[in-house]
Structure 1
């Protein structure tokens, strides 16, 4: 289907649609001209055969018949021959006079081979030329057939030859007649210039050849049922030696038909162009079309294919592919435009990447400075209360923790911190909360040295610690414990795990399902902006290599966390990729393990 819609297919189809009718028209004209030549030659030869039949054959046959009738009615010897016996001298004398007159008149009828007289009572057959043995069996034929009336010229076989015989009954026992060898009837037709392979032959009413012919049995079988058609049309015989045109005319005084066979090659010998054009036109058209297709492929299809390939390379992200300049002005313009467009897209893409990096950096800084104003107000309120109670050392301690906390959060120029720096900041946060809830909060931070130098986005852990205190700690007198731990991933050596767990009531089932399904990442959820903030920054920084898992108690995979969480307690696991020790300088690393 794509091939049918291609420009190449449509152009070739258009060329074929224009060229095919022209070739068909030329071929039609060519074959029509050949047909006209056949018609004209057939008509010309048919007219010529008609003329020969009428003027040479039928005229001789008609004149001979009249001559025999005249002799039968006016010659006293013929009329009285039956009055004498065969052995009577008068019979022989009269017969000799009859034959001599026939011989004298034979000069006027040179087409006639012989005249004859037949005395039926004596079974005596006498001919003017040759011996009576030439017409052996003719006497029996005359006895068996009723010749009382003047008859047409009849075909009579004489051995391997055939002849035409006509008879006139002069008296009950005396018959006069004439014999014509069919071969002699063809003498006038041999004047026709039929060329090599052409011939003239005579057939009877059943299509049986009466003279020598080169017609094959298949040709005769084709002609026999179509003899009547030859009176107004021609036949085209397809023989092993080639095609021959057959025309013929029937004699009106006998049952013979003269066939003239003319080789088609001779017919078209005067039209060599039309004969060759029948083969040259389609071959030439195919050659021209092939050359034109090759030319189109070189000057149009190949540059278009390169252009399409370049477009596909751009779609795939390869902006380094360039087109070669073409000699054609239009295609050269397309190539230069494509190359210029590719350069502009490449520069634009680089600019977009740079802009996206700037936007991400700005977004990271913006997310990094998102803080909870309630924490600051509560911290200032604690300092105020401590100052009112004149607990000056606690005021100093609180002020230092708060100063370190502020120092960490307002460093917006840093896109990442180390795990050690993040946990030190969380320690300041937890110390501030402990001063707020001195007997109700405890915490534990465990970090091994290999993981303290791993870079992570700033404030990636604090929102989960803050959520644990806000949502997990109760005022019923039981100490709320928070544990933060960094360790290797049990299955993937290329990643490590940061775990935040507590001994509180854990996540409500519906809330846990929401967290696990990822709907917490909807920024519009106002209460969950901290979680969305962390997830968004982790995606910006690590892509899909980082993930967060939520669970309750042992379901988190930590078992007994040492804080006696029992079957409850919220567990948050941050699975992060290893990225090497990328500390940007700053505060000292957290100790390998310290307890608040």
Structure 2
């Protein structure tokens, strides 16, 4: 069955995704709010600058209308140049003009003084107080820039003033001196009114601080547009409007920090709210972990332990939490049912295991009974051959060896014997064979002291030695050499090697994978040894390998068992 991974990891990943999604949502809301506030600020300040600029254009238009009316209908202006300079008529006309100008100065928005300039005499007439305001240099620049029968608006950067001039046909110039501060454009922030030169016409204390931005403020923008300006690491939002009658531009700078001041607390909450929500979610996760995850994981570990053969369920005993508090009723019932089920399975497993032991014991007894006549028949065959040859002493010696062997076999029906006892029987057997083939057979036995006390099933080595003698002499022309060597291996194991210089194992046998296969029709030999070694080793590794290396080679790897309890004996 396919699984989706750990429940804990799944919950943690989903909690993380929820927190990240919430944080991203709040950040989106924050920046969306910033965009809305910026848009509202631009709209409100756009309306403000448009209103002020419309007021300026209306004031300039009304002033120009007055000057045009005065030029067209005032008799003193039309006849002033007809009188000689300094005559009584000239002086009377000047006085009348000055009274007219003074009487109308306060009626027009932003006008500080009206003036009349006679180019032929270089004579300047102003309304009351105008002589102190109007300077010759900017006046001459305004007059030179004025075309006949047209009116011009000249911006004087030095005096931060505006000169509006209308040219009459007889060389007389009629105009107004405008102080932009008189337009009373009230605004608490940064406001600038400037012409093409970039010098602000409003007398503000902060003009010099922002003079470096004048080039950016004069840059062409769509009327009513907005732009971002930067100075000394401070960002400003600029909104401006352009006059339709002149080169005047009205700009308002809004510091980004002041614009977003209302969002300061909101921005703090945007960052604190995810932390608060994360804390709530983690608290809920902690509660969920104690009430649901830990019991589920405990039950999961119990299932894994049972599946791997471990029946220790103490970690989930009594269906309680690790901190000792009682579990919920549902989990308590689940744990109790699981423990009951495991207990029943364990009892059933023990019953099955005991039945298997009894079956193995019966099979073991049967295998031993098969081995005894197997060796006995081979030995009697040798004695018969020797008696036929008349070797009386050899028969006596062989009979003695055979009597010692069967005395050991009939003395007790042992499941395990020591390696020393097994090697003693191998020695008896090989002595019998050496007496049968005195000139053609040699053998060598190697047994270290550390392996003498180790346990083996009886005849484990002798079975392979017998097979060596039976099949090693198939080549009658060669002498036979048999070597049995035992040594201590790694990890508490013992390595046993039986080799000869005979014809070796058939190739088809070596290709078989089963270690208990019989040799050349000997149906009980190797199978019996492999089965009894496996019974003795239990869960410990044991192995029998067959190979050819200049003859047959048998390698056995068995665990070293020297515990007396392993040598179980049953009397017959």
State which drifts further: 95-104 or 79-88.
Answer: 79-88
CA distance in 1, matches of 2:156, 2:482: 138
2:99 matched to which residue of 1? Answer: 100
Whether contact under 8 Å (1:150, 1:168) holds in the other structure is yes
**Offset, 1:316:** 7.0
CA distance in 2, matches of 1:116, 1:574: 130
1:228 matched to which residue of 2? Answer: 221
1:202 matched to which residue of 2? Answer: 193
**Offset, 1:349:** 6.5
For the residue of structure 1 that corresponds to 2:201, the secondary structure is coil
RMSD over aligned Cα, in angstroms?
Answer: 5.8
**Offset, 1:533:** 1.8
Aligned partner of 2:171 among 173, 186, 190: 173
Q: Residue 127 and residue 138 in structure 1: after superposition, are their counterparts in 2 closer, same or farther (change >3 A)?
A: farther
Q: Residue 242 and residue 407 in structure 1: after superposition, are their counterparts in 2 closer, same or farther (change >3 A)?
A: same
CA distance in 1, matches of 2:453, 2:121: 154
Q: Residue 452 and residue 181 in structure 1: after superposition, are their counterparts in 2 closer, same or farther (change >3 A)?
A: closer
Q: Residue 290 and residue 549 in structure 1: after superposition, are their counterparts in 2 closer, same or farther (change >3 A)?
A: same
Q: Point out where structure 1 has 5 or more consecutive residues left out of the alignment.
A: 383-397, 557-569, 588-596
For the residue of structure 2 that corresponds to 1:247, the secondary structure is strand
CA distance in 1, matches of 2:166, 2:510: 131
Whether contact under 8 Å (1:152, 1:253) holds in the other structure is no
Question: Per-residue CA shift, 1:346-393, capped at 9, x if unaligned?
Answer: 6676666655544443332222121476888999999xxxxxxxxxxx
For the residue of structure 2 that corresponds to 1:579, the secondary structure is coil
Question: Per-residue CA shift, 1:75-104, capped at 9, x if unaligned?
Answer: 222112112333333322321221122112
1:216 matched to which residue of 2? Answer: 210
Q: Residue 541 and residue 548 in structure 1: after superposition, are their counterparts in 2 closer, same or farther (change >3 A)?
A: farther
**Offset, 1:575:** 9.2
For the residue of structure 1 that corresponds to 2:65, the secondary structure is helix
**Offset, 1:454:** 6.7
2:562 matched to which residue of 1? Answer: 579
CA distance in 1, matches of 2:553, 2:44: 115
**Offset, 1:124:** 1.4
Q: Residue 441 and residue 537 in structure 1: after superposition, are their counterparts in 2 closer, same or farther (change >3 A)?
A: farther
CA distance in 1, matches of 2:497, 2:254: 110
For the residue of structure 2 that corresponds to 1:63, the secondary structure is helix
**Offset, 1:135:** 2.0
Q: Residue 208 and residue 417 in structure 1: after superposition, are their counterparts in 2 closer, same or farther (change >3 A)?
A: same
1:80 matched to which residue of 2? Answer: 79
CA distance in 1, matches of 2:554, 2:160: 125
2:265 matched to which residue of 1? Answer: 276
Question: Per-residue CA shift, 1:160-198, capped at 9, x if unaligned?
Answer: x2222222233423222111111212x1x22x5x4xxx1
For the residue of structure 2 that corresponds to 1:216, the secondary structure is helix
Q: Residue 62 and residue 481 in structure 1: after superposition, are their counterparts in 2 closer, same or farther (change >3 A)?
A: closer
Asked which structure has the greater CA Rg, the reply is 1
**Offset, 1:32:** 4.0
1:393 matched to which residue of 2? Answer: none
Residue 248 of structure 2 corresponds to residue 256 of structure 1: yes
CA distance in 2, matches of 1:581, 1:33: 87
CA distance in 2, matches of 1:83, 1:498: 149
**Offset, 1:114:** 0.6
**Offset, 1:482:** 12
Q: Residue 338 and residue 255 in structure 1: after superposition, are their counterparts in 2 closer, same or farther (change >3 A)?
A: farther
Q: Residue 335 and residue 127 in structure 1: after superposition, are their counterparts in 2 closer, same or farther (change >3 A)?
A: farther
- TM-score normalised by L of structure 1: 0.66
Aligned partner of 2:504 among 510, 520, 523: 510
| Superposed counterparts of 1:305-320, under 5 Å | 319-320=311-312
**Offset, 1:71:** 1.9
Question: Per-residue CA shift, 1:2-30, capped at 9, x if unaligned?
Answer: xx965445434444555655555555455
**Offset, 1:302:** 5.8
Question: Per-residue CA shift, 1:496-517, capped at 9, x if unaligned?
Answer: 999999xxxx763233889999
**Offset, 1:340:** 6.3
For the residue of structure 2 that corresponds to 1:540, the secondary structure is helix
Aligned length: 531
Q: Residue 124 and residue 527 in structure 1: after superposition, are their counterparts in 2 closer, same or farther (change >3 A)?
A: same
Residue 527 of structure 2 corresponds to residue 532 of structure 1: yes
For the residue of structure 2 that corresponds to 1:509, the secondary structure is coil
2:389 matched to which residue of 1? Answer: none
**Offset, 1:421:** 7.1
CA distance in 2, matches of 1:167, 1:441: 147
Q: Residue 70 and residue 376 in structure 1: after superposition, are their counterparts in 2 closer, same or farther (change >3 A)?
A: closer
**Offset, 1:460:** 3.5
For the residue of structure 1 that corresponds to 2:129, the secondary structure is coil
